[in-house]
Amino acid sequence: MSTPALAIRALRKHYGRTVALDGLELEIPKGVISGFIGPNGAGKTTTFGIVGGMIRPDAGEVDILGRGPLEPARHAGSVTLLPQDCELSPFVTLRQLLTHYAELQGMTRADAMRDVDARLEEVALTDRANARIKTLSHGMRRRVAIAQALLGKPDLVLLDEPTSGLDPELVVRMRDVFASHRKKRTLVVSSHNLLELEALCDHVVFIERGRCIRSGSMAEVTEQGLIMRYTVERAVELLPLEQAQPELEMTWEGKTLIVRGSRGWTPAHLNATVAPFLLHQNAGLLEIRRGKSLEDAYLAGKAEAEGNVEGADDDGD
Amino acid sequence: MASRLRAIWLVASFDVVESLRSRKAVVLLLLYALGSFGGSAVFIRILGAIRERLEEEVGRAVDMKELMKSPGMARVAGALTGDVDVAGAIVAIPPMALFYGWLAMNFVPLLVLFTSVDAVSGDLSSGAVRYSLFRTERLSWALGKLLGQTCLMAVGVLSGALASWLTGVIWFDGMAVADTAFWLLRISGRSIVYSFAYLGMVLGASQIARTTARAGGLALVVMFLASVGGSIVQAEPIAERAPELMNALSKLFPNGHHLWLWHPGVVQSVSAMVGLVLIGLAYFGLGFWRFSRRDA
């Protein structure tokens, strides 16, 4: 098994009486774009802070790229971070700032300048390269912050709410930028926008109250291999299909039919069986979707975790 | 080691560029240079008045060098310093350079307080530090800040010296232009070393406090205590009771090295400089001890 890009074991951190991380355990494989999902206060930013060497953990281990916790000398430019809500130096120009960061992570001046030009192009700020940071809008500053996280050839990039404050067009553009780094490096993206993460990520981590409640590939977590969702104009009687295919598990959620296949079934096989039936029944087929939505998967994972906690509490009682 | 030195240099040079482009540092340095210019002009007028009074008394023209080397001036300097060697060295310094030395050593610590207090605390409170600390080690980053602020202070001290020299060239009749320039450079070097002790205090506070306001308050308190502490252990009634102990204790404070900075002996002046640098580094190190363990 290959070394994960990021492995976290029993990580704990508290601020006074507030527990931010409560024995967090997770592994993120190399080369994926991983969505780091959780509510406010779940511990996402603290985790990024600890991995990035900004925050000292109370206990636990962090292993980055199989080389232990972050040591700038040891990891030399292989880990970069986009922190949340941190100001950039307002008085220097974009080019000055990014060149400084690139040199600081070990690049030569010539390489740094070349890379800065490429990153500015990537985030569509080439025409503002010589503008001072303080003259930029919030969205532009956010793009500068994204650009600094993509400088050089980092193996692991941590992005904390990268698209907050960007307009929809730029959100799409930035998503394409992140997607273009797929397989070349590991990106861990924290966001509350589950639709955005669903479109971008191939791996997800759900975090809740400082613990990882579920993680895995997007296909696994959203059960894309086993579940199909058919949205129709009107719900129809399913008995004929149930009699013909007793191994299928079918339920209506409003006007969406959720079909779960057992082992051996593929999405194509499910479609070939269910779609003709719905068409034949004049259900008015509107949409076919693989798996659960990420939102549903997250809410299900959360409910399951809460159930476990309550169960444990009950046992304790 | 080479990569650490490179990182220190990169942080320092960026810090200087950032400080100068913020204009705050430029404004403060200009104010200091203007203060030096104005103070020097006032000093020249006072000096001229003293010379006129003296000329009236002796009934002939008095040369400034003659005035400085007169037994009366030597007695005054001896009484002020309490050290015959230092007094002799002081009266040999051109008056403009001597005045600038006094000005720099009294005001550069305050200049340092205003220009450097946000060097670390500003980045901590804005979060800007988070863009750097995964790229370089905290020690390299903090030392880079120290080097950058030292360079900025050196620019300030030298610009003040230039302002003082220009004032002399314009208004001080009979000033030894080259000799004064040479001494101004020497005294600027000593002033930079003297102020480094205070820069260490300011950057120490800047690493401990999370906001600039708190860092400023802390630095002011530390500077005040260091100044008062140095004066107490050197005060005659106390120093007389245990001269050796008090003399040793005085070396823990910047003003305990003040006198020897002017000493003509190489051993004394170098040991004063080393002591001041060590004091600065000690305070800086104390701040770094906290900074290296804190959440950024």
Closest CA to A147 of A88, A98, A83: A98
Instruction: Give the model confidence (pLDDT) of A125-156 as tens digits.
Output: 999 999 999 999 999 999 999 999 999 999 99
CB nearest to B128's CB, from A56, A70, A89 = A89
What SS3 state is found at A82?
strand
Closest CA in chain B for residue A69: B134
Instruction: Give the model confidence (pLDDT) of A106-119 as tens digits.
Output: 999 999 999 999 99
- How far apart are the C-alpha atoms of A146 and A143, rounded to whole Å? 5
CA distance A55 to chain B (A): 4
Q: Do B134 and A86 touch (CB under 8 A)?
A: no
CB nearest to A73's CB, from B3, B133, B296 = B3
Q: Which residues does chain B have within 8 Å of residue A56's beta carbon, measured at their own beta carbons?
A: 293-295
The answer to whether A123 and A168 have CB atoms below 8 angstroms apart is: no
pLDDT at B59: 81
pLDDT at A1: 60
pLDDT at A315 > cutoff 60: no
Q: What b/e string do you get for A125-154 counting C-beta neighbours within 10 Å, with b at 16 or more?
A: beebeeebbeebeeebbbbbbbbbbbbbeb
pLDDT at A221 > cutoff 60: yes
- How far apart are the C-alpha atoms of B145 and B126, rounded to whole Å? 16
pLDDT at A310: 60
The answer to whether A141 and A88 have CB atoms below 8 angstroms apart is: yes
pLDDT at B24: 87
Q: For chain B, which ranges sit under pLDDT 50?
A: none
Question: Which of A6, A54, A65, A88 to mutate against chain B (most B CBs within 10 Å)?
Answer: A54
- pLDDT averaged over chain A? 91
The answer to whether B255 and B231 have CB atoms below 8 angstroms apart is: yes
Q: Do A53 and B134 touch (CB under 8 A)?
A: yes
Question: Which of B130, B133, B136, B143 to mutate against chain A (most A CBs within 10 Å)?
Answer: B130
pLDDT at A235: 92
End-to-end CA distance of chain A: 41
pLDDT at A312: 53
Share of chain A above pLDDT 90, in %: 74
Phi, psi of A36, deg, nearest 5: -110, 105
- How far apart are the C-alpha atoms of A45 and A36, rounded to whole Å? 10
ipTM attached to this prediction: 0.87
Query: Is any Cβ of chain B less than 8 angstroms from the Cβ of A252?
Result: no
- Report the DSSP pairing between strands A203-208 and A33-37: parallel
Range scoring the smallest mean pLDDT among A9-23, A38-52, A222-236: A222-236
The answer to whether B212 and B124 have CB atoms below 8 angstroms apart is: no
Query: Is any Cβ of chain A less than 8 angstroms from the Cβ of B135?
Result: yes
Instruction: Give the model confidence (pLDDT) of A2-40 as tens digits.
Output: 899 999 999 999 999 999 999 999 999 999 999 999 998
**Which 8-state DSSP code applies to residue A89?**
P
Cα distances from A79 to residues A72, A178, B42, B129, B232, in angstroms, run 9, 15, 58, 16, 52
| Crossing angle of the two packed helices B177-208 and B138-171, in degrees rounded to 10 | 150
Instruction: Give the model confidence (pLDDT) of A148-204 as tens digits.
Output: 999 999 999 999 999 988 898 999 999 999 999 998 999 999 988 888 898 899 999
The answer to whether A158 and A48 have CB atoms below 8 angstroms apart is: yes
pLDDT at B182: 96
pLDDT at A305 > cutoff 70: yes
What SS3 state is found at A16?
coil
The answer to whether A196 and A174 have CB atoms below 8 angstroms apart is: no
The answer to whether A241 and A250 have CB atoms below 8 angstroms apart is: yes
Question: Read out DSSP for A197-249?
Answer: HHHH-SEEEEEETTEEEEEEEHHHHTTTTTEEEEEESS----HHHHHH-TT-E
- How far apart are the C-alpha atoms of B58 and B36, rounded to whole Å? 32
pLDDT at A317: 41
Instruction: Give the model confidence (pLDDT) of A260-286 as tens digits.
Output: 888 788 889 999 999 999 999 999 999
